[in-house]
Amino acid sequence: MPRATWDKGAETVMVEQALDQPEAGLSRVFWKQLMANRLAVVGGILLVGFLVLAALAPLIAPYDPLEQDLYHRLASPSLSHPFGTDDFGRDILSRVMVGSRISLRVGVFSVLMALVLGTAIGLSSGYWGGILDQVLMRAMDLMLAFPSILLAIGIMAVLGPGLENAMLAIGIVAVPQYARLVRASTLSVREMDYVQAVRALGAGDLRILAFAILPNCLAPLIVQSTLGLATAILDAAGLSFLGLGAQPPLPEWGAMLSGGRELIVSAPWVLTFPGLAIFVTVLAFNLLGDGLRDALDPRS
């Protein structure tokens, strides 16, 4: 109950302190549930470590990731080279550390691109409906009919190999997921009373979309974006492994796997450590995404 002081002789009350605001209460519930999920906390810690590593990689990497030392080629893990060296004598630890920046850039750019395009398509399709909805959704269905990696390879065949083109291809492939998610949220919100009230007050369609409908799509979009980052990093590694993404000597994890696949028996560390980096990073994003999904679920 709010604390109140009665003014003697006057039937008035002065509120000194209000109850906790609903937004603050929801925030506390969200953080409480997120912190209670131990796997999500582990994923968050791993993700923070990944971000710090990516930010400081050029400063803390022990060697130049592109520097070749043929005298120490294929050296096994040691104190001087904790992850060993590759077939050109380059330090694998340094390449994995610097490669984290590339993987993060690929994931963020691809997800942002898919998020912006998918949100715009989903809002337009769900709000206006009709022929526009049919055309846009059939286009999304057509894209979903292809396996994502196969569609990305087809786009790369048109754009050509390269890291930038790989980011574009991965972003385009992910658009239908965000479009269908936002469309579903828009369809469930557009007929609600508060949206009708805003429309009755004379608000235009763009204002309704931006301030009445889009905020209700943010929770599922946050979860999908977190999980999408993991998928984008995997897809980028897959394209680089096939020789379509990052090109040598760029220290991208998928390209490192591709370059060392013939050494799996004679020098397994060349593949092991880049593969572990992909595994841990994707695991961190997935654990955090699952935790966010549970914490943002209104039924909980």
- Tens digit of pLDDT for each residue in 219-230? 888 888 988 988
Distance CA 115, CA 237 (A): 21
Span between the terminal Cα atoms of the chain, in Å: 25
Strand, helix or coil for residue 160: coil
Backbone region of residue 86 per phi and psi (left: phi > 0; alpha: psi in -120 to 50; beta: other values): beta
Using 70 as the pLDDT threshold, list the residues of the chain that sit under it: 1-26, 297-300
Count CB neighbours of 72 within 10 A: 15
pLDDT of residue 25: 61
The tokens 């846009």 sit on which residue?
Answer: 136
Which residue type does 280 have? V
Q: What is the DSSP string of 80-144?
A: SSTT-B-TT--BHHHHHHHHHHHHHHHHHHHHHHHHHHHHHHHHHHHHH-HHHHHHHHHHHHHHH
Which residue type does 99 have? G
Question: Tens digits of per-residue pLDDT, 155-190?
Answer: 998 988 888 999 999 999 999 999 999 999 898 888
Strand, helix or coil for residue 212: helix
pLDDT of residue 24: 55
Where are the chain's structural domains? 27-57+88-296
pTM assigned to the model: 0.82
pLDDT of residue 297: 66
Q: Which two tokens stand for residue 136?
A: 């846009």
Nearest in space to 182 (alpha carbons), one of 158, 213, 154, 148 = 213
Beta bridge mates, 13: 6
Cβ-contact 284, 50 below 8 angstroms:
yes
Longest dimension (CA), the chain: 95
Options 1.50.10.20, 3.40.50.2020, 1.10.3720.10, 3.10.20.340; CATH for 27-57+88-296 is 1.10.3720.10
Distance CA 198, CA 192 (A): 10
Distance CA 178, CA 180 (A): 6
Strand, helix or coil for residue 187: helix
Q: Which two tokens stand for residue 11?
A: 């039937």
Count CB neighbours of 211 within 10 A: 11
Strand, helix or coil for residue 265: coil
